[in-house]
Amino acid sequence: MSAPKKVVLAYSGGLDTSIILKWLQTEYGCEVVTFTADLGQGEELEPARAKAELLGIKSENIYIEDVREEFVRDFVFPMFRANTLYEGLYLLGTSIARPLISKRLVEIAKETGADAVAHGATGKGNDQVRFELSAYALNPEIQVIAPWREWDLTSRTKLIEFAEAHQIPIAKDKRGEAPFSVDANLLHTSSEGKALEDPAAEAPEYVYQRTVSPEEAPNEPEFIEVTFEKGDAVAINGEAMSPATILTKLNELGGKHGIGRLDFVENRFVGMKSRGIYETPGGTVLLEAHRGIEQITLDAGAGHLKDSIMPRYAELIYNGFWFSPEREMLQALIDKSQENVTGTVRLKLYKGSATTVGRWSDYSLYSEKHVTFEEDAGAYDQKDAAGFIRLNALRLKLIATRNRRVAEKG
């Protein structure tokens, strides 16, 4: 691997990525292009521009973009079509954002003639994998620089020294170590590390950043209606909205009602377990709603097939294989299933829970005529069930007969 000449850095404007920026300049003597994305993390982006300029980045090398709509439309929503949960519980809020960042890094590298990209993820986590697999899948020639795996700035003290030595501004509250590490975007906020490393100890309330505690949530439930078209949410309470607007609105509703908190110990792709505190208010509501609408619009064949491949799909996203043939194959399967997932779900939001209380659709497969306990006017002939059961039982009977025969023989 030759030394990179021009590097596109995923740049937040914070202290750590500022140190990386400077380190790239000094270590490799390379030109740095910064990419700062608004993924809905709730921070102003313009300060990142000022900071980048201060650190000597040419203005044509500063990319600041609002990618929230693309994020929700092309990443979050496709994932929610599968009712995706990693290890039964986790909504993959961090995982799903990484491929989009890598995609833009690689695209900007092409635009600017850069030969490398760089990210601020450590060598212990999943994010490095996600960033790099995506980058390599999109450009097999690209170099990826992961400073945390390379440098010797292995303590807070060394980092601060490096920052001071290179005139990187240090906010007062950044001198000490943060009590835990935070990642946020429009889908979720995750907190992990340090104060949260003991999985036996309850996470303190101050960890939570975008949801009130269920105890602090309103004492009255709130009812909302979410409308779907082909598997994607398109309206709340009858008002059509763009993907990012819908997720923003659901976050607001979910957060207010203390919905979407998760204290979770998960298996990282790199082989160790970690504990995270996740807040996914809008996503939690959206998952419940999507399941509600699928209940009446998907038949058993489609629904069960989707369910059976979901764990693998979730694993692929978690492990960083968004841009892989197998994820795209599974997506083709999932998207095929969503053609009639259109209709409206009514949900009750109350003190930490989002629960479906009603659902209706022009595409409904629910047939009151068939299921009714009342007279069904011949819609269903109960005698059919006898043959259905007898043929389903036939192989079980043959087994039992065999077992009996063998047992008698001894």
Enumerate residues 164-223 that contact its own copies by CB under 8 A.
181, 193-194, 197-203, 214-215, 219, 221
Nearest 10 degrees: Cα torsion 103, 106, 112, 116: 150
Secondary structure E strands in 210-352: 222-229, 232-236, 239-240, 261-267, 273-279, 343-350
Q: Is 264 in the site for its own copies (CB under 8 A)?
A: yes
DSSP H helical ranges for 46-152? 46-54, 68-71, 77-80, 98-112, 127-138, 147-150
Let me know if 263 is a catalytic residue.
no
Q: 48 or 264: whose CB is closer to its own copies?
A: 264
Instruction: Kindly identify the residues of this chain, within the stretch 292-311, that bind its own copies according to CB under 8 A.
Output: 295-296, 298-311
Q: 20 or 138: whose CB is closer to its own copies?
A: 138
Residues 6+ apart with CB under 8 A from 132: 102, 119, 144, 146, 320
Taking CB under 8 A as the criterion, the residue among 37, 133, 186, 236 binding its own copies is: 133
Stretch that binds its own copies, among 23-31, 107-115, 247-255, 374-382 (CB under 8 A): 374-382
The tokens describing 410, both together, are 């001894």
Q: Is 234 in the site for its own copies (CB under 8 A)?
A: no
Q: Is 41 in the site for its own copies (CB under 8 A)?
A: no
Q: Is 402 in the site for its own copies (CB under 8 A)?
A: yes
Let me know if 16 is a catalytic residue.
yes
C-alpha distances in Å from residue 269, one per residue of 86, 238, 380: 12, 41, 50
Instruction: Kindly identify the residues of this chain, within the stretch 140-169, that bind its own copies according to CB under 8 A.
Output: 140, 146, 148-149, 154-155
C-alpha distances in Å from residue 37, one per residue of 40, 56, 322: 9, 19, 19
Return d(Cα 365, Cα 380) in angstroms, integer: 15
Let me know if 181 is a catalytic residue.
yes
Taking CB under 8 A as the criterion, the residue among 12, 17, 83, 84 binding its own copies is: 83
Return d(Cα 131, Cα 117) in angstroms, integer: 10
Burial readout 68-105 (b: 16 or more C-beta within 10 A, e: otherwise): bebbbeebbbbbbbbbbebeeebbbbbbbbbbbbbbbb
Taking CB under 8 A as the criterion, the residue among 58, 110, 158, 397 binding its own copies is: 397
Let me know if 98 is a catalytic residue.
yes
Is 217 assigned to a binding site? no
Q: Which of 115, 127, 183, 232 is catalytic?
A: 127
Stretch that binds its own copies, among 13-21, 32-40, 42-50, 362-370 (CB under 8 A): 362-370
Return d(Cα 316, Cα 137) in angstroms, integer: 14
Q: Which of 16, 263, 335, 376 is catalytic?
A: 16
Q: Is 3 in the site for its own copies (CB under 8 A)?
A: no
Stretch that binds its own copies, among 26-34, 40-48, 54-62, 258-266 (CB under 8 A): 258-266
Strand 353-360 relative to strand 232-236, pairing: unpaired
Q: Which residues are part of a known binding site for L-citrulline?
A: 90, 95, 126, 130, 181, 190, 266, 278
Q: Which residues are part of a known binding site for ATP?
A: 10-18, 37, 120
Which residues are the active-site residues? Answer: 16, 98, 127, 181
